[in-house]
Structure 1
Amino acid sequence: MTFDSNRRQFLALAAGSAATGLAGCSQSADGPAGSGQATTDSGAGGTTTAVESLPESVGLETLATGFEVPLDVAFAPDADLRYVADQRGRVFVHGSDGLRDDPFLDLRETVTVGSETGLLGIALHPEFAENRRGFVRYSAPPRSGTPDDYDHTFVLSEFEATGDGTQADPDSERTILEIPEPQGNHNAGSVLFGPDGYLYVGVGDGGSGGDRGAGHVEDWYDAVPGGNGQDVTQNLLGSVLRLDVDSEASETPRNGGGETADGEASGSRSYAIPEDNPFAGGGAGLPEHYAWGFRNPWRMAFDRGRLLVADVGQSGYEEVSLVEKGGNYGWNVKEGTHCYSADDCPDRTPDGVRGGEPLVDPVIEYPHSGDGVSGVSVIGGHVYRGSALPDLTGAYVFADLSADGRLFAATPTEGGLWPTRVLPVAGDDAEKVGRVYSFGRAPDGELYVLGSGSDGGGLHRVVPAE
């Protein structure tokens, strides 16, 4: 992703100088309004509620700059090392001695870079200290099995790192999964290991707008044509996948295009299917699916066993959902809590579609225009569990692509939409994050922000405001 066009191209950078689109394109041209509201809370109807216990603002401690478009960060479990994935194809290593000259991994000759394509995500195996296994998610030119009229191929690969964890062997690449991508946008990119040891992979709906057009299959909902978000049989698009990368069903990577005429999955797998995946036994869907009904899940995070997934909206609303196994999160029937492109819509599938499963509403929603919490493309974050900002403990901190010096903080509740407010970045630190691309949480619970601003692309730690 080059992040220099408009927000329809990925993270949708709506204003002038920065890169565009990684998070995935809403169509509204309206940028965020009201960057200084400290206690506004977004709800389905745009109502506001005070969130009293959170800090008034936070600061940012800059650890490294000079990145082009830093999109993800992973943390070594056994050393003071941070691995920063840059969209253009390199993974850099940052340690106590600063940013190292030699990258951990250089895939610039392999990766296809566009407004929403490139090197999109990185995850380290839970036993990285012992096995040095790292996983990356990137976009490649069309490969075998990708139709001629498709844009590119989604690739999930594994690399083996050196004993000190500072470099990956480029010749050690083992392709885990390939998925044909019909358009160049809505590619998601998150890869992360859950507390169960399985690898979770976010996959967008295949691009274009409204989950329709070439590469978008028919589904059960007739009011809006398409699409991949509501289908779990034809392809792996519009879903969160769950894979067992510590076991192999075969040695050949699977092309995630769907089923053959006799109903068998096309291709073979270099991973196993967790036994409790919703369709592990076959039948109603492809076995990789964990949850579905997503447009462009841009960043996922676990907190104490709960999976939070931020999904970029189309034309009106951004959302974050608490995701559970087998859940249907509504796209393209709904956008957030609202009917998409229809005056009314169902809250569940028909009885003949997986038993009439409910369409699960998000826990966070905000509009594309208005004062306070608003923006163009949601950037998923993490729940704060560090010690530097005790008033932030337990809050979900996230942002919008067009950050303009603002973060957001949501207070989890047991039901309904979570109270959400602007969390301003104080003083000159606000200039560091004109755009926010991603977040990371270190093993000690402290939060990191990847973004661009006055110092270019940078890695920053969230700290108390001075």
Structure 2
Amino acid sequence: MGPTRRSFLRRGSAVATLGSLVGLTGCSQSVAPSADAGDGAAESSETNDSTTGSSPATDETADDGGTDAGPSVPESVALEPLVTGFQAPVAVVFPPDTSPDSPDRAYVVDQSGVVSLYESGELRDGPFLDLRDSLEFGGEKGLLGFALHPNFAGNRRLFVRYSAPRREGTPSAYSHTFVLAEFQAAADGRTVRRDSERTLLEIPEPQRNHNAGDVAFGPDGYLYVAVGDGGGGNDRGRGHVDDWYDPVPGGNGQDVTENLLGSILRIDVDSRSDGKPYGIPEDNPLVGTDGLDEHYAWGFRNPWRMSFDGEDLYVGDVGQGWFEEVDLVRAGGNYGWNVKEGTHCLRRESCPDRTPDSVRGGEPLLDPVVEYPHSGGEVSGISVIGGYVYRGSAVPGLRGRYVFADLNANGRLFVATPPDVGTGTDGRDGTEGGLWPVRALDVQGGERTLERVLSFGRDPRGELYVLGGGSGESGVYRVVAGE
């Protein structure tokens, strides 16, 4: 058993107990991925009839793997607590230099603004990093992303993404400012020099939701940054620009010239160019064309949690009113929002499957590899929580499969099986092969311990961690074989 909430608080940790927080779709927690389109009075009834088309039979096409794919997917798994007592844990990050044989150090990120260090079986006294005096916390705002430099052992550089009060350059009618910043940790990696902050990127956020916020280093050494569409319903309203698709006015998801919203960005934190505090990889897809060079992929609504498996980049994109999706993202990919929600047309009986020839040569609107509805069937929910491909040994039947969840977990995880699992060959670019089969995975005792899921993590051994909880507290739990 890991440290409990009681022992954690007794140590004087900066993580607060559960209080009166902004609720979301019936949850008492303050959590980041929005299940609605909401921005208060800006909302409309349009969010309840956003798509057309029938519900995909994700549970009916579920596959247990078969003999060619190794062990079958288990009927259930168990959760082993690593550490509990958090308000809204959104990331657990293991140092890149940690030995696979002994991943005994982890950084746990709470949306409230505190990063804690778990080491040698316990939480260290005091925070690793405390940003509560610099950010706005509540609803979908807060400390949303954290990444350690690939050479963290040598340079002690780390990167955070948080919601700051409006800064210079953010219009007064806007909600807040997106901040991506770099910090320097102490030589022992146990504390951060608070005065070492260097701002890399600021983005005006027009509304309070759809903040996304995950950051992760890819195998290429570049930093990938998830950015939501700016909030509101249908990607329109305050802070949403015009795009090429007139039938649904808006929006930032289909725009790559006016702002960085609704996209996955890719930057080089080890260089600087054009007066910016970061560099632009030369092979970013819009370099030398009409578009902002930071863009790596676009057409996202609220990309909540992303992960790499080798060179594959998985992104869970939160839907609006009907469907949730997971995308297998490639450079220059357009993932459809706000023309589509998942594979379905947004507010239209029919819609194009590519942009006009005048828009980047008629690029295709790429379908997700996973889609599930808000109602009906074993696999359903309200807000997708992106996960990881499992590469551990504790649960052999999950190896090579993508494990993810819904915010409204109700004691369940989801498992998607890629085509030719274990070989990584066919149907993995998000353009062919259709939707991957998905099935629900029961969590033993999950009705009490896993009412909601906020995030996932994966350690150097490939073992999976679930961040969330229930019954009044949240924590970090290791996924292990069930009884």
TM-score after normalising by structure 2 = 0.86
For 1:278 and 1:448, locate their aligned partners in 2 and report how far apart those are by CA, in whole Å. 33
Query: Aligned AA for 2:456?
Result: F
Whole-Å Cα distance in 1 between the matches of residues 324 and 265 of structure 2? 21
Cα 1:5/1:343, change in 2 over 3 Å: farther
CA change 1:47–1:431 in 2 (3 A) is closer
Aligned to 2:32: 22
* Whole-Å separation in 2 of the counterparts to 1:27 and 1:280: 32
How much has 1:137 moved relative to structure 2?
0.5
Aligned to 2:105: 81
Q: CA deviation at 1:382?
A: 0.1
Structure-2 separation of matches of 1:24 and 1:2: 20
Q: Which residue of 1 aligns with 2:381?
A: 375
CA distance in 1 between partners of 2:127 and 2:80 (Å): 22
Matched, 1:422 2:429: no
Q: What residue in structure 1 maps to residue 63 of structure 2? A: 51
Distance 1:424 1:3, change over 3 A: farther
1:364 has 2:374 as partner = no
Quote the Cα distance in structure 2 between the aligned partners of 1:370 and 1:3.
32
Q: Which residue of 1 aligns with 2:12?
A: none
1:302 corresponds to which of 304, 308, 315: 308
**How much does 1:154 deviate?**
0.2
Contact 2:25–2:35 under 8 Å retained in 1: no
Matches within 5 A, 1:144-293: 144-249=168-273, 268-281=275-288, 283-293=289-299
Contact map agreement 2:156 2:186 (CA 8 A) in 1: yes
Q: Could you give the per-residue CA deviations for residues 27-59 of structure 1, whole angstroms, max 9, x where no partner exists?
A: 599xxxxxxxxxxxx973556124222011111
What residue in structure 2 maps to residue 449 of structure 1?
Answer: 466
Aligned to 2:108, what secondary structure does the other structure show? Answer: strand
Q: Deviations over 1:124-173 (max 9, x none)?
A: 11111111111110000011111111110000011111111111111101
- Matched with 1:432 is 449
Would you say 1:70 and 2:89 are equivalent positions? yes
1:419-451 residue CA offsets vs partner (Å, 9 max, x unmatched): 00001101x354221110000111110001110
Aligned sequence identity (%): 63
Displacement after TM superposition at 1:297 (Å): 0.1
Cα deviation code 1:367-411 (max 9, x no counterpart):
001120100000000000011111110010000001011100000
Structure 2 counterparts to residues 309-388 of structure 1, below 5 A: 309-388=315-394
SS in 2 for 1:129: helix
Shift of 1:4: 4.6
**Mapped pair 1:135 → 2:159:** yes
- Separation in 1, partners of 2:179, 2:221: 21
Displacement of 1:102: 1.2
Asked whether the equivalents of residues 2 and 69 of structure 1 are also in contact (C-alpha less than 8 Å), the reply is no
1:37 maps to none
* SS in structure 1 of the partner of residue 191 of structure 2: coil
8 Å CA contact 1:159–1:172 kept in 2: the answer is: yes
1:395 corresponds in structure 2 to: 401
Would the aligned equivalents of 2:412 and 2:446 in 1 still touch at CA under 8 Å? no
Contact 2:93 2:106 in 1 (8 A): yes
Residue in structure 1 matched with residue 482 of structure 2 by the alignment? 465
Structure 1's 73 and 2: CA in aligned 2 closer, same or farther, altered over 3 A?
A: farther
Structure 2 gap segments, 5+ residues each? 1-17, 39-44, 46-53, 65-71, 99-103, 420-426, 428-432
**1:106 maps to 2:130:** yes
Asked if the contact 1:2/1:116 (under 8 Å) is kept, the reply is no
Q: Give me the whole-angstrom Cα distance separating, in 2, the residues matched to 1:5 and 1:235.
A: 28
SS of alignment partner, residue 138 of structure 1: strand
Cα deviation for residue 96 of structure 1 reads 1.8
Once residues 186 and 97 of structure 2 are traced to their aligned partners in structure 1, the CA distance between those partners, rounded to angstroms, is: 14
Moved more, 453-462 or 148-157: 453-462
Q: Tell me by how many angstroms 1:15 deviates.
A: 2.5
CA contact (8 A) 1:58 1:424 kept: yes
Deviation, structure 1 residue 452: 2.2
Superposition deviation, residue 324 in structure 1: 0.3
Q: In the aligned structure 2, how far is the partner of 1:136 from the partner of 1:432?
A: 29
Structure 1: runs of 5+ lacking an equivalent: 7-12, 30-41, 251-267
| Aligned partner of residue 171 in structure 1, secondary structure | strand
RMSD across aligned C-alpha pairs, in angstroms? 1.8
Number of residues paired by the alignment?
A: 428
